[in-house]
Structure 1
């Protein structure tokens, strides 16, 4: 066999070695979620690839067997060529040269290609590996038998275990899958994942903001209130919100004489939810009961707020209305980076709107945070730094901070 023939064989062996190296990286790096999606869509190459990856021991066995065989054969041929050209003294030079060539052209370059284009590389190699596994199955089975038993001697379990994905890992998968997906879609997906971390007292309408029908008020006033109400569902109570009677849907009484009996007869029984209920649980409860409103109660059973289906949906899709929201227009931007803020705003909304990182584990509103931070009820004009941003108390009413001015320092 001539030296030219040996060089040609060596050239093709290096290409084959590169194929094994690159395909190994590609198959290990391929996106399993997309692979499963393509498999369910009937993609033939994806079906073959997914089947190969179900038994990674056999797949790795065939890759390593092929790669080592090719590299050893290439080394032997390089040695023969060196001895023919310059004798035994050239063997060391041939070994060093071949090592460098394999490192660059059969390892580094193919693996980089496989890492950057795992799907294309995997789908092409899957057809080849299916054939090789069929032809060399007895040998692969024998090699894996020895390797697997050796691992078992060291107490290594080879049983396939179901991998549970945590909420944070799932969120990371969604964020990494940006691609060509619209930003709004990804935001909604991450918001759905985050619902479990948010409780209804984070988004509820606070007790002092709840408006409804007091059946002990004059019916002339109640009738005018109903006519002017921007809401279609209203709480019905006696004297105080703690004596709640139910929820009235105004369309049920639109053609009726509005009086106490009519209101009470058309009320639906109220439902209650503990204030630490997650939005996920409350959303499922609304779905189960076919309801849209729940009263939030503390550990003593007192009503502390009102939770609505609309508020939960806005946590997913963002504000889909610009009116009637208890969080609407609570931040008014002024000149030179200053903001006038209604202190009843939730800290979550304030953080997301202004890019702050106020803690959410205690106070739920800016007013609560200020009182907790100062450990006192401040007077008008009191100033302090809110995470390095100057904040001034502008209005105090009923022992509550009502309005503040914040200068956002970039």
Structure 2
């Protein structure tokens, strides 16, 4: 006798075989509907609260309405709010699935696994996804403030009720964040620059993007005008001496020092002198000095300094070394040039900028020119000279590192693709340098 094969019942016939629904199932279905509504409110509240604009949050903080006050209080601790919403949502959904499973057992019997799975997958899961997740989140996105006001009371009570569990969840989250931070992947500046090279075709845009990429990594020491390049006046000068010195410069702000440049007394704004140009040499111009000079260390990042400039409404800072001596000077323009490139006027030429282009492969540079500007002129990556420059930040300093001594005029040295020649040298420093690029394919700037 052949064994009979029992085929599974078609899903669409399962419900038709149900003769009667037990009375206990009706209140369970009613509770499921309530839980589904609660799930919708909780899911929508997550989107509503965390999509509020700063203006809406400020409006709630300054409002006297009770629900707005509750919103402001909940958003004062966003991690606690999020943890509470996640705990609530999971509790409600678990309760919903549990009740739906119990209802299916009452209808089909505890051994009807196939029918139970069909009931849960065909009705309960789609109901949770559509009515409990998608629909409320779409509505909450459009009416976020209204939705947040409606659910703020419920969430405030839940925040207090589930605070111990929320605290545990936040602690685990913080621990995980710290571990990920330690093991996280760090993208190097070289990789970011390579990404810019691959994704940008316009040279000017490429240079700006490169400036943005490296902006936060640069210190004021890399960007500043060095001590020997600072134009500063002695506080003991009489008024006529001062005017004569001012006429020889093109600066609008000039540091004033006492005895030596290491003792900066303040900053003189040239425009402040205009009403007094007819005064005699005894005019007390020292009263015009702004004494609240902004001093910063060499190690300060230029992105932080830019924020300080904006907050303090100043355009110039004096850089001091570890001993408190004047190391250099930096202006707002110096910082902005690190992003947009050199800002020149109609009177500037290449020599004023510290270099001169002889041909596409030959340049001359002032020894005092910063390596940062040197890289920009040759359009090369700063990492090319990382191993050679040591602690130096100028072209002259780079040559001292390469030669390991003060070279004589005309002395040459090769490094990678470059030939450096000391053109002008005095007893203390390298004043002028010629750079020859051996490879014709080097990415040097052809048009300045």
Q: TM-score, normalised by structure 2?
A: 0.51
Cα distance change of structure 1 residues 211 and 317 upon mapping to structure 2, 3 Å threshold = same
Over residues 205-236 of structure 1, what are the superposed CA-to-partner deviations in whole Å (9 max), with x where a residue is unaligned? Answer: 2232234568999x999976543432244467
Partner in structure 2 of residue 38 of structure 1: 56
Within 5 A, what are the aligned runs for 1:297-376? 297-299=320-322, 303-305=326-328, 307=329, 309-311=331-333, 314=336, 322-323=344-345, 329=353, 344-349=368-373, 354=379, 356-358=381-383, 362-372=391-401, 375-376=404-405
User: Equivalent residues in 2 for 1:4-403 (5 A)?
Assistant: 16=37, 19=40, 22-23=43-44, 26=47, 30=50, 37-42=55-60, 51-52=73-74, 56=81, 59-60=85-86, 62-80=88-106, 83=108, 90-95=112-117, 98-99=120-121, 106=128, 119-120=141-142, 126=148, 129-130=151-152, 144=162, 148=164, 194=216, 200-211=220-231, 226-234=246-254, 250=270, 251=273, 254-256=277-279, 268=289, 273=295, 275-276=297-298, 278=300, 296-299=319-322, 303-305=326-328, 307=329, 309-311=331-333, 314=336, 322-323=344-345, 329=353, 344-349=368-373, 354=379, 356-358=381-383, 362-372=391-401, 375-377=404-406, 381-385=412-416, 390-393=417-420, 395-398=422-425, 399-400=429-430, 402-403=433-434
CA contact (8 A) 2:223 2:330 kept: no
Instruction: Give the secondary-structure state (helix, strand or coil) at the position aligned to 2:396.
Output: helix
Distance 1:234 1:339, change over 3 A: same
Change (3 A) 1:274 1:2: same
2:233–2:257 Cα contact (<8 Å) kept: yes
Structure 2 CA distance, aligned partners of 1:335 and 1:116?
A: 63
Question: In 1, distance between residues paired with 2:307 and 2:166?
Answer: 48
| Equivalent residues of 2:257, 2:264 under 8 A apart | yes
Q: Deviations over 1:257-279 (max 9, x none)?
A: 5x6x6698678498694753746
Quick check: 1:236–1:244 contact (8 Å CA) kept in 2?
A: yes
Structure 2 counterpart SS, 1:383: strand
Mark the runs of 5 or more structure 2 residues left unpaired by the alignment: 1-18, 173-204
The alignment's TM-score, normalised by the length of structure 1, stands at 0.54
Q: Secondary structure at the match of 2:420?
A: strand
Count of matched residue pairs: 354
CA deviation vs aligned residue, 1:297-355 (integer Å, no higher than 9, x gap): 545565443x2554576479867952499997457789879987655443455667847
* Maintained 8 Å contact 1:35/1:50: no
Q: Distance in 2 between matches of 1:62 and 1:274?
A: 50
Paired with 2:267 and 2:225, the residues of 1 have a C-alpha distance of 15
**Secondary structure in 2 aligned to 1:408?**
coil
